[in-house]
């Protein structure tokens, strides 16, 4: 069977399986829209999660022995396309927090066989949620300046310090944390990456409210917390190598220029016609807005095609590279511009915070605009990405301060 025929056969099988197993009540919904609202839908969501996990399609490219399906990226893309075609979705990466998108891929490369056996299946099934302890109040973009310490106690480390922007820390079972294990070494050489359980007496979390009204962020405090030596990911004092790889996976996960169409979301061009009005020929009446809207739609399409080109050039084996920095900044620009256009289109109706005078999508508009501002900071700021692009892609000299 040639590759094309094999791919079509896989697509047909995937379509049949999804039709038989995806609960119709979840059509065009998302995990975030369902999580706390309707017990019946929540039950359907758990059924769907369990079926996906059993099929290995929560993390389809992971090896089957670790809860994946052992598929290639072309097959994973087919699954995603067939899900989108019927209004389905994969909730497992969201349920696993930072597990499927960041910790898991890094563990597949740096983890021991024991670590993979103990941790990966829980991520791939969405039953164990992970957070990351990276940034600190005095170590954000200059991450290597971190002060959280891990003291060697023989078979385990004792961890003390504070982390910030630990997304989902208050609802996670495990944390991957970057800690200082040798203060005498240059700052990038005395760091290690440890895994530790969150449900222990030495770990405290405090949610951080954001201006958008909703926030996954927390402050996390480690007070004599324990991390077993068996859960040291990578070599002792070589955590900088581990975190560089993990951050590449993070950027890769943030290269989508916008979420897919959910809950009957109206295309921006149709929204503009409805709020602003049309000429006699049915075109958007505001020519300046029409031009800027067209620019944003073209930028979104160019971003989408660039991802497709990079994937094709990698011959189906999507590799994490410095190109993720270009795509992360491109995705941020497209999404932020779209949110600004949406507010402008809605006018006064797009800046309401609550009340019966506003529709649900109007209230969501201002929150989307506010939260979108964070995209140019989290996961490495715009400026951090530019430094990576200048050094690793353009070959320009190092400009950041070395420790």
Question: Using one digit for the tens of pLDDT, what is the confidence trace for 136-152?
Answer: 988 776 788 899 999 99
Residue with tokens 């969150």: 198
Model pLDDT, residue 36:
60
Other Cβ atoms within 10 Å of 245 Cβ, number: 18
Model pLDDT, residue 257:
47
Q: Are 341 and 292 in contact (CB under 8 A)?
A: yes
Model pLDDT, residue 317:
52
10 Å CB burial of residue 328 (0-12, 13-18, 19+) is buried
Closest by CA to 134, choosing from 106, 109, 156, is: 106
Rounded Cα distance, 208 and 211, in Å: 10
Closest by CA to 338, choosing from 283, 287, 288, 294, is: 294
Say if pTM beats, i.e. exceeds, 0.75.
yes
Q: Are 130 and 201 in contact (CB under 8 A)?
A: no
At 179-207, the pLDDT tens digits run 999 999 988 899 999 999 999 999 999 99
User: Whole-angstrom distance between the N-terminal and C-terminal Cα of the chain?
Assistant: 55
Rounded Cα distance, 402 and 322, in Å: 20
Token pair for 181: 């294990």
C-alpha dihedral sign at 370, 371, 376, 380: positive
Q: Are 229 and 195 in contact (CB under 8 A)?
A: no
Residue with tokens 């697509």: 11
Single out the catalytic residue among 219, 250, 362, 368.
250
Q: Are 35 and 42 in contact (CB under 8 A)?
A: yes
If DSSP codes are grouped into helix, strand and coil, which group holds residue 337?
Answer: helix
Model pLDDT, residue 28:
80
Cite the beta strand spans of 103-217 per DSSP E: 130-133, 149-152, 156-164, 174-180, 191-197, 203-207
Model pLDDT, residue 142:
77
Q: How many helices (H) does the chain have, and how many strands (E)?
A: 13, 8
Model pLDDT, residue 216:
81
Model pLDDT, residue 162:
96
Is 250 assigned a catalytic role? yes
C-alpha dihedral sign at 9, 10, 12, 13: positive
Q: Are 254 and 331 in contact (CB under 8 A)?
A: yes
Token pair for 391: 């050094």
- Angle between helical axes of 113-125 and 39-55 (0-180°, round to 10): 140
Model pLDDT, residue 258:
47
If DSSP codes are grouped into helix, strand and coil, which group holds residue 276?
Answer: helix
If DSSP codes are grouped into helix, strand and coil, which group holds residue 14?
Answer: helix
Q: Which residues pair with 232 in a beta bridge?
A: 194
Q: How far out from the chain centre does Cα 152 lie?
A: 32
pLDDT-flagged residues of the chain (< 70): 1-3, 30-37, 141, 212, 254-264, 311-321, 399-403
* Cα-based torsion angle of the residue sequence 315, 316, 319, 323 in order, rounded to the nearest 10 degrees: 70
Model pLDDT, residue 403:
42
10 Å CB burial of residue 332 (0-12, 13-18, 19+) is buried
Model pLDDT, residue 1:
58
b/e map of 191-207 (b: 16 or more CB within 10 Å)? bbbbbbebeeeebbbee
């Amino acid at each position: 069977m040639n590759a094309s025929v094999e791919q079509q056969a896989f697509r047909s099988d995937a379509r049949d399986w999804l039709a038989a197993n995806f609960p119709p009540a979840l059509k065009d919904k998302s995990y975030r829209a369902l999580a706390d609202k309707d017990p019946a839908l929540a039950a359907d969501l758990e059924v769907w999660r369990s079926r996906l996990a059993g099929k290995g399609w929560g993390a389809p490219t992971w090896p089957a022995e670790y809860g994946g399906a052992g598929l290639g990226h072309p097959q994973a893309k087919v699954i995603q396309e067939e899900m989108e075609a019927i209004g389905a979705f994969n909730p497992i990466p969201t349920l696993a927090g930072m597990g499927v998108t960041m910790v898991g891929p890094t563990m597949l490369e740096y983890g021991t066989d024991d670590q993979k056996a103990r941790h990966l299946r829980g991520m791939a099934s969405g039953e164990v949620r992970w957070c990351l302890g990276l940034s600190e109040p005095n170590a954000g973009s200059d991450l290597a300046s971190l002060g959280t310490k891990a003291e060697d106690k023989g078979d385990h480390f004792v961890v003390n310090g504070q982390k910030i922007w630990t997304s989902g820390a208050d609802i996670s079972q495990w944390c991957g944390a970057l800690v200082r294990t040798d203060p005498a070494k240059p700052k990038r050489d005395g760091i290690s990456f440890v895994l530790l359980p969150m449900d222990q007496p030495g770990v405290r979390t405090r949610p951080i409210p954001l201006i958008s009204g909703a926030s996954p962020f927390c402050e996390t405090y480690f007070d004599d917390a324990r991390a077993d030596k068996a859960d040291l990911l990578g070599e002792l004092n070589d955590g900088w190598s581990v975190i560089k790889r993990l951050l590449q996976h993070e950027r890769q996960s943030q290269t989508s220029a916008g979420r897919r169409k959910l809950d009957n979301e109206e295309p921006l061009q149709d929204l503009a016609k409805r709020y602003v009005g049309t000429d006699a020929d049915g075109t958007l009446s505001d020519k300046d807005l029409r031009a800027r809207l067209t620019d944003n739609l073209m930028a979104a399409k160019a971003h989408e095609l660039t991802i497709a080109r990079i994937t094709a050039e990698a011959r189906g084996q999507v590799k994490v590279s410095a190109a993720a920095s270009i795509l992360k900044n491109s995705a941020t620009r497209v999404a932020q511009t779209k949110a600004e256009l949406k507010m402008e289109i809605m006018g006064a109706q797009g800046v309401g915070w609550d009340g019966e005078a506003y529709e649900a999508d109007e209230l969501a508009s201002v929150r989307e605009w506010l939260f979108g501002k964070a995209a140019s900071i989290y996961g490495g700021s715009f400026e951090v990405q530019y430094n990576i692009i200048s050094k690793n892609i353009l070959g320009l000299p190092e400009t950041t301060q070395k420790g």
